[in-house]
Structure 1
Amino acid sequence: MKIPSSIWTLLIGILLTLVSLWYGQNHGLLPTAASDEALLVDGLFNTMMIVSTGIFLIVEGGLIYSAIKYRRRAGDDQDGPPVHGNVPLEILWTAIPAIIVLGISVYSFDVYNSIGGFSPHAVHEAPIASQAMKMPGAAIAATLTDTPPSTELNLNQEKSDEAMQDPATAAVRNADQIPQKQNAPGVGSVAPTIDPVPGKEGQPPALVVNVTGLQYAWLFTYPETGITTGELHVPIGREVQINMTANDVIHAFWVPEFRLKQDAIPGRQSEIRFTPNKEGSYALICAELCGPYHGAMRSQVVVEKPEAFEAWMQEQQVASNDTLNQAVAVNPAELSPAEFLAPYTHDIGIQSETLHQLHNK
């Protein structure tokens, strides 16, 4: 008994759907999901893998089937039959990808909005918009200028000034040497700002960390604590807000297990939020080519229990105070450099007269 082609099509469609669904959920291509945001991103990625697997199997299966079934037989030297276009089929294979792309776009925006999305900056862009209504071409000119008029607000400068109020942050940033750029929404150049996750509006983040990227290291400062470290420690289950910029060239803050990446740009203040949900130590990688030693620009993000995090904070504060006390106690009598170093000059073969001459140059 010959099975109708419609039955074959149905059976193949069911098989392709099952295979696509299974592989989309079991591809094993992503590392451990260690943040609440990672779960949302993984859902989007798995959906894209399901769709991509189905399309791949259909296209490649059709090619292989056609190559075998319609291959040239031995002794067949005739031309192939003329085949004319099929308008309904062309409409179908154009409409289906368009619907798929539109659906994934809507899903992507929903995920993006669920993890905060970008703030509209309505207040900061209002002066530009009002001027654009008065003068043709003013909006374009406003988006291309680096130094805003005194009557306009500069979001990057405001965020930089706020971060620099922390002495530890001010000690590691070159904000006085790097002019803060004006937002240029018309050309896509803005200070990226992430809103709180829906449901957490009005609640300040549990932990704010200022991050500074430089060739070739990450420096983390915890405002109001005086802590500066090269390793990021965060408590599990609490939202963390990262405020970052760069001292020299563009860097990128990327923790694969968090599924989040944000650029650190000189003259711009970037922001990213995440809520870690799994204890462990995760690699922080610079994902932007920043120089010859770019591959070595790595650090660690340590996610730990709240009590362990508080203990770490206390240890860092004690260590900072001890270091300061030792630095003050090194020269308690406020001796001159020659007097202070006199006991050591004989051991290293330096004459006190030479030291005095170097000091006075």
Structure 2
Amino acid sequence: MNIPSTIWTLLIGILLTLTSFWFGQNHGLLPTAASDEAFLVDGLFNTMMTVSVGIFLIVEGVLIFSAIKYRRRKGDDTDAEPIHGNVPLEILWTAIPAIIVFGISVYSFDVYNEIGGFGHHAVEESIISRPQATSIPGAAIAATLDSASDVRNIDQLPEKQDAPGMGIVAPSLGATPENEGKQPDLVVKVTGLQYAFLFNYPDSGVFSGELHLPIGKEVLLDMAANDVIHAFWVPEFRLKQDLIPGRQTQLRFTPRVAGDYKLICAELCGPYHGAMNATVVVETLEDFNGWVKEQQVASIETFNQAVAVNPQQKSADEFLAPYTSEMGISSEMLHQIHK
């Protein structure tokens, strides 16, 4: 039975379409989707994968078919038939990719807007710039303190405001459209430095090397870098944001799936860049509150131990005197610098 070429073309087109849709939705290339925003990004990625697989199968299929059917036969030394081109076909294979690229671009802009990329997502000035108390557990940060009260008031994070007069605007991913105008449930200040991430919870005074987040609560990360550009990237959240020295960058999202995830620095920041990572713990609200209380208790104990070790509470000049004398710095010089 001689099947018309149009029927063969239709059957092959249906097979390629079904194969593309199946692989685009079942590729298994992405890790767990652990945030609300991850599902939006996954939808875009799956669409791009579906289109890519379809185009790949069509192009490679035509190439393989042509290489087999129109190959030079043994003993055939004649010239091939001259071809002068096909204008309608050239217009078709130019228009179709252009339409695909335009469609994916529109879809990408829509997803970016849905995760807060284009909204008016400025956070209240009081949240960003107010001095926050920080707890200093262990030896995470070394500082010379003139009095015990400094432990509660010192601002350890180098956040700075944008400089609009210089054309500098920090990149941000703000609130999704449904959360526009609402304050986030949790604010965390993130500092990147070679080669670690530090997290400050200003509302509770907790300072930690791990990022703990409650499930289903919208989180605002207010981020800055101490030295060079770093990047906050958790693959399961499908979100990435740079930490830039001298500029505030923000990331706003809602974690959805409990678990321990790896925070990776995605910017080459030095020779030990590969070791710069941290743990992100997404847990229930009850477990999160319990962790906060544990950190507060541990902070108080550490502070009391520090006061017990140094009951006289030396001034900065007294504390630095043994070291400055070794360096040849006089007390007068130190006093001038202090002033």
Q: What TM-score, normalized to structure 1?
A: 0.78
- 2:14 matches 1:14: yes
Is this contact kept in 2: 1:160–1:269, CA < 8 A? no
- 1-side partners of 2:314 and 2:223: how far apart? 40
- 2-side partners of 1:164 and 1:94: how far apart? 55
Is this contact kept in 1: 2:198–2:208, CA < 8 A? yes
Question: Quick one: which of 287, 298, 305 aligns to 2:277?
Answer: 298
Shift of the alpha carbon at 1:67? 0.5
- 1-side partners of 2:297 and 2:112: how far apart? 40
Is this contact kept in 1: 2:218–2:254, CA < 8 A? yes
- 2:128 matches 1:162: yes
Question: Quick one: which of 180, 184, 187 aligns to 1:201?
Answer: 180
Question: Quick one: which of 220, 226, 247 aligns to 1:241?
Answer: 220
Q: Which residue of 2 aligns with 1:78?
A: 78
Q: What does 1:87-236 correspond to in 2, within 5 Å? A: 87-119=87-119, 162-163=128-129, 165-168=131-134, 171-174=155-158, 181-182=163-164, 190-236=169-215
- When residues 218 and 160 of structure 1 are mapped into structure 2, their CA distance, relative to the original with a 3 A threshold, is farther
- 2-side partners of 1:191 and 1:314: how far apart? 33
- 1-side partners of 2:165 and 2:240: how far apart? 21
- 2:53 matches 1:53: yes
- Aligned-residue identity in percent: 66
**Structure 2 segments unaligned to the other structure (5+ residues):** 136-153, 316-321, 331-339
Q: Which residue of 2 aligns with 1:32?
A: 32
Is this contact kept in 2: 1:208–1:223, CA < 8 A? yes
- 2-side partners of 1:118 and 1:167: how far apart? 32
- When residues 335 and 28 of structure 1 are mapped into structure 2, their CA distance, relative to the original with a 3 A threshold, is closer
Is this contact kept in 2: 1:183–1:191, CA < 8 A? no
- When residues 36 and 290 of structure 1 are mapped into structure 2, their CA distance, relative to the original with a 3 A threshold, is same
TM-superposition CA deviations, 1:91-125 (whole Å, max 9, x none): 1111111111111111111111111113569xxxx
Shift of the alpha carbon at 1:200? 1.5
Q: What TM-score, normalized to structure 2?
A: 0.83
- 1-side partners of 2:53 and 2:38: how far apart? 22
Q: Which residue of 2 aligns with 1:143?
A: none
DSSP-derived class of the 2:30 partner: coil
- 2:324 matches 1:324: no
Please tell me the residue identity of whatever aligns with 1:191.
A
- When residues 179 and 222 of structure 1 are mapped into structure 2, their CA distance, relative to the original with a 3 A threshold, is closer
Shift of the alpha carbon at 1:179? 9.2
Is this contact kept in 1: 2:175–2:253, CA < 8 A? no
**Structure 1 segments unaligned to the other structure (5+ residues):** 122-154, 337-353
TM-superposition CA deviations, 1:269-310 (whole Å, max 9, x none): 111111111000000000000000000001011000000000
Is this contact kept in 2: 1:24–1:47, CA < 8 A? yes
DSSP-derived class of the 2:172 partner: coil
- 2-side partners of 1:30 and 1:233: how far apart? 23
Is this contact kept in 2: 1:118–1:192, CA < 8 A? no
TM-superposition CA deviations, 1:214-269 (whole Å, max 9, x none): 10000000113221111100000111011101111111100000000011111211
DSSP-derived class of the 1:199 partner: helix
TM-superposition CA deviations, 1:317-355 (whole Å, max 9, x none): 11111111111122335589xxxxxxxxxxxxxxxxx99
- When residues 67 and 328 of structure 1 are mapped into structure 2, their CA distance, relative to the original with a 3 A threshold, is same
- 1-side partners of 2:16 and 2:271: how far apart? 46
- Which one has more relative contact order, counting CA pairs under 8 Å at least 6 apart? 2
Question: Quick one: which of 305, 309, 319 aligns to 2:288?
Answer: 309
- 2-side partners of 1:183 and 1:301: how far apart? 36
Shift of the alpha carbon at 1:47? 0.4
- When residues 330 and 86 of structure 1 are mapped into structure 2, their CA distance, relative to the original with a 3 A threshold, is same
Q: Which residue of 1 aligns with 2:336?
A: none
Query: Higher helix proportion, which one?
Result: 1
Is this contact kept in 2: 1:20–1:50, CA < 8 A? yes
Shift of the alpha carbon at 1:358? 6.2
- 1-side partners of 2:300 and 2:71: how far apart? 80
